[in-house]
Chains A and B, each alone.
Chain A
Amino acid sequence: MYKVTRVLTLSEGADAAALIQDLAATARNSRWVLDWALAPTLPEANAAGDYIWRLHFANEAGARAWAAGDGLEAHAIMNDPTRVRHVNSGGYVSGRVGSKQTLTRGIYRLLFISLDEAASATDVAQFEYETYEMGLYIPSIVQWRISRISEGSGTGSWTHMWEQEYENLDGLLKTYMLHPHHWAWINRWYDPECAEHIVQTVCQSFCRFDSNTF
């Protein structure tokens, strides 16, 4: 499975309803898009952007075929400065997934991550393992996935996508944030004062979902 995930920030005065309708049409009408979700971000805790758009393809070739066909219209919309001010985007083969149950509604949260290109392969592998491991220790994470981004753009040179699903916002804003696996363990990769620091930039956002598109 290949995924393209985007966080869109709309231009001031843009017609959001029309924009969403137009973008959705480029996915709905395409035989290459296996599944998709387009949802407004939530205002809590500085979630980035206005909309999260998730597109699922059978493989990278399917994503390229969409981009060269129906996706051309989406590309034009996202590059129209009167409609979209900024896009963070990542294309990636689905990475390691964990699941405790399948939710039909809840909170989807993503974190674009840019790792230092000088980070050793050993450190990158350990970082990926510990990120995956968060789902095993933190009870509120219901489904989770850490993937390597092969094609990214936006405010960072994105190397990884860390996605999670929660039953509710407290699961993200309280349990995830306050669990010691987060602040006492994995944080050292993110903290510039820690010797292990390798994360250069992040962009987080989250939205509600009401059908399973994980």
Chain B
Amino acid sequence: MSEPGKEVIYYLDHLIAQPGRAEELLRFYMSEYVPQAKLRGLALVHRWVTPPLWLREQSNELFVIWSVQGAQAWWDATRHRRADPSFLGFWKKAQPMIVSRRRLFLSDVDDVDSLNNV
């Protein structure tokens, strides 16, 4: 359980890559998205792929996980992201490599009570 206001909040980018393009998509994500996101206060935590080999004719799924500390930091990062058109530009350029994507916000289950006690 974290200190109130300092709970770790995770962002999960779940990307289903076009067949055979997952490695290219990840490279593009790392070079174009990650530096900007770090500048906006996000910490890169994990980069996961399933299955753990680069499929040539089917889709890999990528799970990129970020974190911030506390809901206020979440808002600060969000305001920075929305003010910077490069983030939307990234997704537009990446779209041909993506079948579908979803962004989720998560926490440790032990922090749920604290996060809701606002």
Contact = CB atoms under 8 A, between A and B. Distances in A.
A and B bound?
A: yes
Contact of B78 (A183, A185, A195): A183
B29 interface: no
A188 interface: yes
Interface stretch (A92-100, A125-133, A141-149, A173-181): A173-181
Contacts of A195: 100-103
A193 B118 contact: no
**Interface SS of B by simple majority:** helix
A183 B71 contact: yes
Interface in A186-206: 187-188, 191-195
A188 B103 contact: yes
A18 interface: no
A193 B82 CA distance: 8
B105 A184 contact: yes
A179 B118 contact: yes
B58 to A, nearest CB: 21
Interface residues of B, number: 22
Contacts of B31: none
Contacts of A179: 116, 118
Contact of A193 (B71, B72, B74, B88): B88
A187 B78 CA distance: 10
Contact of B118 (A178, A185, A188): A178
Interface in B81-108: 81-82, 87-88, 91, 100-103, 105-107
A193 B116 contact: no
B71 A178 contact: yes
Q: Chain A interface: which size bin?
A: 10 to 19
Contacts of A187: 78, 105
Given A183-B105, A184-B9, A184-B105, A177 B81 contact: no
B75 interface: yes
Contact of A192 (B74, B88, B101): B88
B118 A194 contact: no
A23 to B, nearest CB: 34
A195 to B, nearest CB: 6
Given A177-B75, A183-B74, A193-B81, 10 more contacts: A174-B118, A179-B118, A180-B112, A180-B116, A183-B105, A184-B106, A187-B78, A191-B103, A193-B103, A194-B103
27 contacts: A175-B118, A177-B71, A178-B71, A178-B72, A178-B75, A178-B118, A179-B118, A180-B71, A180-B105, A180-B107, A180-B112, A180-B115, A180-B116, A183-B74, A183-B78, A184-B9, A184-B107, A187-B78, A188-B103, A191-B78, A191-B82, A192-B82, A192-B87, A192-B88, A193-B88, A193-B91, A193-B103
Interface of B: 9, 71-72, 74-75, 78, 81-82, 87-88, 91, 100-103, 105-107, 112, 115-116, 118
